[in-house]
Amino acid sequence: MNFASHSMTRTILTGWSAACVGVLFASLAAQGASAASASSIAFNNMPDSNRSFKIDQSERTPIASVEIDVSAPSNVLVQFSAEAEAGETDDGCPCSIRAFLQADDEKPLPVKRINVGAPAVTEVSKYEHDRQEITGSLVFPVPAGKHKFTFIAQQVTGKSKQLKIDYPNLQAIAFPQNP
């Protein structure tokens, strides 16, 4: 094969490849558009620095909820983020907090456990309060219809009466299941 014919073959394959890639992108874009139109999102963001959620010492404390209405069976990604704080003092700590996610009236599922109120934070590091990030996510398969998802916190260890959650964010994003 001489250089000229090789160059032409390469150009033809490039053109054919480009056409295939174009068809592939068009197909994916159409699927993405239909999936996006069928997807839905619900969110609850509370950036208010003057609003905290005191965690009950023995019971589970609902922090935030969202409702989402899905038109078909879906996988719903539920994710949360917040800041857990030991309070004005670390009395009764160290403590641990467990975070749960609950779908509708089902049993809450544990997602994460963190420690907060370590004496070294205030005594050694000289921070005013011990604050720890608490984040997590789960996927819930759900049938078509309206569903409620709740982020719940519970004190698991320690005797503090000052544990609280600040800046909670909760999102639920529905992804329709393939038929």
What CATH number corresponds to the domain at position 86? 2.60.120.760
Q: Which residue has the tokens 């996006």?
A: 36
- What is the structure's pLDDT at 124? 64
Mean pLDDT for the chain overall: 79
**Model pTM above 0.85:** no
Radius of gyration of the chain (CA): 25
What domain range is 33 assigned to? 1-38
Total number of domains constituting the chain: 2
Residue 103 reports pLDDT greater than 90: yes
Let me know: does 68 contact 79? Beta carbons within 8 Å. no
Task: Answer yes or no: do 87 and 122 share one domain.
Answer: yes
- What is the structure's pLDDT at 91? 78
- What is the structure's pLDDT at 132? 87
Beta strands per DSSP E along the chain: 40-45, 52-54, 61-70, 74-85, 95-103, 109-116, 131-142, 145-157, 164-176
Winning range, highest mean pLDDT, from 38-42, 52-56, 114-118: 52-56
